[in-house]
Amino acid sequence: GLCAGGAPSLSYQELKDLKKTNVLHIDVRERWEIDRFGRIPASINIPLGELVEALQMDPMDFKEQYNQKMPSKSDPVVFSCLAGTRSKQALSFAMSLGFS
């Protein structure tokens, strides 16, 4: 879902267009799923079970672990998973941590 009020679901094309802008794409699937099904280009894999901890990390630690600049609470972030259930949970977690 996209962090925009009603949290609409995105089509693949909408996501591709968004990724041309400065949006951080977090894939919350498990690592074995990434290995099996492939990773999405320009996305960062943070399994759902690690997400709450990851979003509260020190930015330096975050960059070291995920090789990507940590999003600030106002940055545009898109979550994805396999079926959409986990990305909705991810969205709730992020919003509860103060991400807009």
Active-site residue, from 77, 81, 90, 91: 81
The whole-angstrom separation of Cα 49 and Cα 86 is: 10
Q: Is 3 one of the annotated active-site residues of the chain?
A: no
Beta strands of 11-71 (E only): which ranges? Answer: 24-27, 43-45
Q: Which of 27, 66, 29, 55 is nearest to 43 (CA)?
A: 27
Q: Give catalytic residue positions.
A: 81
